Amino acid sequence: MKHYLLGLFDDEEVLLEAVDKVKSHNLRIHDVVSPFAVHGLDKKLGLRESRLHVGGFWVGAAAALTALGFMTWVFTANWPTVFGGKPYFSFPAFIPITFEFTVLNASFWMTFAFLVLCHLWPGRFRESLDPRTTSHLFGIVFKITPRMSEADIQHIREVLKQAGAVEVKERIMEKHY
Amino acid sequence: MYKQPLPPRQQLQLLNPECKAMETTVQFEEKFVMTARQKFWSMLLMGVGALGIVISYFLYPGEEGHTRFWAALLTIAVFFQGIAMASCFFQAATYVAYGGWHTVFKRIPEAIGMFMPVTALLLLLVLLLPNLFYGHHPLYHWTDHEAVAHDPIIAGKTPYLNLPFFFIRFVFFVGILIFLSYKMRQNSLLEDLHGGLRYYQSNLTYASLFLVFFALYISVTAWDWLMSIDTHWYSTMYGWYTFSSFWVTGVAVITLVVIYLKKQGYLSLVNENHLHDLGKLMFAFSIFWTYLTFCQFMLIWYANIPEETAYFRMRYDRFMGLFYGIFVLNFLAPFLILMSRDAKRNMATLTIAAIIIIIGHFIDFYLMVYPGTVKLPQFGLVELCTLVFYSGIFLYTTFAQLGKANLVPKHHPFLQESVHHAT
């Protein structure tokens, strides 16, 4: 059982200011859900930079070497063939394939890595905290723990209201949303 | 429900300072003043360069010497014409795309673009004067009537490659583009004085026209000024290839000027987000250049038709180091240096990348002109002095133009967007 408190906002500018206000009350924000990427939000939340692109670079580099190495092996050692009078190792002809293989691998593996990082592998169904946060509302999410008293929760609700939330609601979910 | 995005016109209305009071504490008044030192150095470069050019005219005697003299002038004239034109293209493209991120340093491409009448005039002289001196242009084989009479391939190209039509094309395209870029600049300055949306909308029209003529200009002039040096040879990718070279050089030069002014204490509104986008442009178009260059090379290499491979044979035999060197300078170096986000937001790495790109693309233009004319890789007094001379004029005109207006376009409709730009 997971217990969440959700403050909903209808404007991203209000949301950005609300994040600051909430943080000034020393409240720990669990997450922010929004229909699109809001500029500056990651900095305010103190999220560390994603390392997905670093992985992408290394996968791409590995793919480039694999493609080049494989073609070189096939056309010089395994099955040497003359194409249009060109030498066995005709580097320019290998470049388009190397390029395509690099791009294909880098993009596919980055997509897969992204899905895994977001817990979105096949067969996994994730319920939304509030379906409206996928279209026009922005939500600041708090985790409610058994140690929190009723007064603590009330305090969070008030802070959210003051910060301009259009709605504050609680949700109890079976699994992580 | 989704908030429906407003159509661009209405968005502009909202951002228009006359419609909505600007709530900001940012200082928009910023005036560039050319210091005596900058004036002295640009004048000195111009003077030394001009003197060197005159001396080197007498220093390289004979037919070969004169060919080299004009080859040096042509390479550098075309290179700087490209930088000026790319700056105007930058403005036009951002206008047409309703771009807003660049507004805080918009005056810099404008000022560099105003360099175009000067380069165009100098380039016209380089193309015209040898015809008057020698009766034909030593760089262009097709201007020699005797050679054309014995050469059926060139004779077949005379309907296009003849001197009157050559200069008509020059005056037509360059004239129209100078006029349009001048109009864009004028509107931008008027906008500073009066405000309102009128000037922005008028500039949209000029920018759209600019892009149409620019698309024709870039192909036609690449054939005329550069490809016709190797008169027998042709490539259908040549226009795009030279465009990518011009454009990435232009962006590198804009970046360098922005960083220079920032170091001088100007452009307080420009931050690493704007530099990041300039870095992205340099990175992306370095790859674009590599793509086009390699495509042109690979198709010719694959087909292996003698009259096509002749072009690369010349470069292989005598310019091998430079020929492979530009792949390192123009592709590998910017690709690896500018790949990470931090590198694009750092002035030092951006400066290094921009300088490498400018040198690399200068060699690219060198390789378009020299193998077909001078036949041997040479770099000496005349090349150096011409570069110095052009750098002097470039610095002087850019500084003088920057001083003519406020460094921040005060009433530009996208100014707020640019100030709050984040990447």
Residues A72 and A85 reside in one and the same domain: yes
Residues A134 and A154 reside in one and the same domain: yes
Residues A56 and A113 reside in one and the same domain: yes
Residues A75 and A100 reside in one and the same domain: yes
**Which pLDDT belongs to residue A96?**
94
Q: How many CB atoms lie within 10 A of CB B158?
A: 12
Domain boundary (A72, A96, A117) is at A117
Residues A112 and A56 reside in one and the same domain: yes
Listed by start position, the domains of chain B span 31-409
Residues in A closer than 8 angstroms to B297, CB to CB, are: 92
Taken as a whole, chain B contains a residue count of: 423
A84 touches chain B (CB under 8 A): yes
| Alpha carbons within 13 A on the beta-carbon side of A8 | 17
Residues A155 and A68 reside in one and the same domain: no
Q: Quick: pLDDT tens for B73-122.
A: 999 999 999 999 999 999 999 999 999 899 999 999 999 999 999 999 99
Q: How far is A142 from chain B (nearest CA, A)?
A: 25
**Which pLDDT belongs to residue B26?**
56
Residues A107 and A85 reside in one and the same domain: yes
The verdict on a CB contact (< 8 Å) between B298 and A93 is: yes
Q: What's the pLDDT band for B22 if we cut at 50, 70, 90?
A: very low
Long-range contacts of residues B109-112, Cβ cutoff 8 Å, at least 24 apart: B109/B254, B110/B184, B110/B185, B110/B188, B110/B401, B111/B397, B111/B398, B111/B401, B111/B402, B112/B83, B112/B84, B112/B87, B112/B250, B112/B253, B112/B254, B112/B257, B112/B394, B112/B398, B112/B401
Q: How far is A39 from chain B (nearest CA, A)?
A: 7
Q: Quick: pLDDT tens for A28-71.
A: 899 899 999 888 888 888 888 888 989 999 999 999 999 999 99
The verdict on a CB contact (< 8 Å) between B301 and A40 is: no
pTM of this structure: 0.87
Residues A84 and A102 reside in one and the same domain: yes
Q: Which CATH number does the domain housing residue A139 bear?
A: 3.30.70
Name the average pLDDT for chain A: 90
The verdict on a CB contact (< 8 Å) between A135 and B339 is: no
Q: What's the pLDDT band for B28 if we cut at 50, 70, 90?
A: confident
Per the structure, the count of domains in chain A is: 2
Is residue B14 scored above 90 in pLDDT? Answer: no
**Residue for token pair 């249009």:** A84
Residues A102 and A134 reside in one and the same domain: no
A40 touches chain B (CB under 8 A): yes
The verdict on a CB contact (< 8 Å) between B2 and A136 is: yes
Q: What's the pLDDT band for B13 if we cut at 50, 70, 90?
A: very low
Domain boundary (A84, A117, A150) is at A117
Residues A30 and A76 reside in one and the same domain: no
The verdict on a CB contact (< 8 Å) between B302 and A49 is: no
**Which pLDDT belongs to residue B3?**
46
B1 touches chain A (CB under 8 A): yes
| Residue in B272, B292, B301 to test binding to A, most A beta-carbons within 10 Å | B301
Residues A112 and A66 reside in one and the same domain: yes
Residues A136 and A108 reside in one and the same domain: no
Domain that holds residue A113: 52-117
**Which pLDDT belongs to residue B2?**
43
The verdict on a CB contact (< 8 Å) between B1 and A40 is: no
Domain boundary (A84, A100, A117) is at A117
Q: Quick: pLDDT tens for B173-201.
A: 999 999 999 999 999 999 988 888 899 99
